[in-house]
Amino acid sequence: MIMTDTFETLKVDNDHQIKEVAELAEIIWHEHFTPIIGTVQVEYMVDKFQSVPALKKQLADGYEYYQLFDRGEFCGYCGIHPDKGRLFLSKLYIRKECRGRHLATKAFHFLKDLCSKRGLSAIWLTCNKHNDDSLAVYSHLGFKTIDTQVADIGNGFVMDDYIMEYTV
């Protein structure tokens, strides 16, 4: 476990943690993304990308997940994957009740440190074009929009995203 002040990260490496992340994903995704993409797409995406089987497959494929704690409280999680000399930030989600504590900033510093230790040159991510709050956070952290993408994720759904990057 890595701890700074009251912020801690804990690498997900067992079934109990995977279940905790999946349960939190269900809550956060329904609360945050339903107004942006609708209930049906949220349910599809949670099942496809954030269910226990989906998380286990991602971990087997080389993704890493970290639980984020503040004052001992499980407040969020992030998912990452090395990608051609850069770090792909696949997921960074904070519970609604924990927002405003600068946890995204603390997680970002943790990720920058990981990049430095691993010799990675940048952090990149995709963010829904209508996810205004998250786009504002990423911009505040210094991410720049470098491209856009529309990705077909099946079942008639697409992810309409900005691709953003931060040079470490």
Strand pairing class (86-94; 122-128): parallel
**What's the pLDDT score for residue 114?**
98
pLDDT along the chain (168 residues), means of 10: 76 98 98 96 97 98 98 97 98 96 96 98 98 97 98 96 98
The candidate with the shortest Cα–Cα distance to 54, out of 86, 33, 79, 75, is: 79
Give the start-to-end residue ranges of the domains of the chain: 2-167
**What's the pLDDT score for residue 8?**
96
> Cα(95)–Cα(25) distance, rounded to whole angstroms?
9
> Cα(83)–Cα(92) distance, rounded to whole angstroms?
17
Which tokens is 24 given? 């939190």
**What's the pLDDT score for residue 168?**
96
**What's the pLDDT score for residue 82?**
96
**What's the pLDDT score for residue 22?**
98
- HSE-up of residue 89 (Cα within 13 Å, Cβ side): 26
**What's the pLDDT score for residue 2?**
55
Which tokens is 157 given? 């759904």
For 2-167, CATH number out of 3.90.1150.10, 3.40.190.10, 3.40.630.30, 1.10.287.130 equals 3.40.630.30
**What's the pLDDT score for residue 3?**
52
What's the predicted TM-score (pTM) here? 0.94
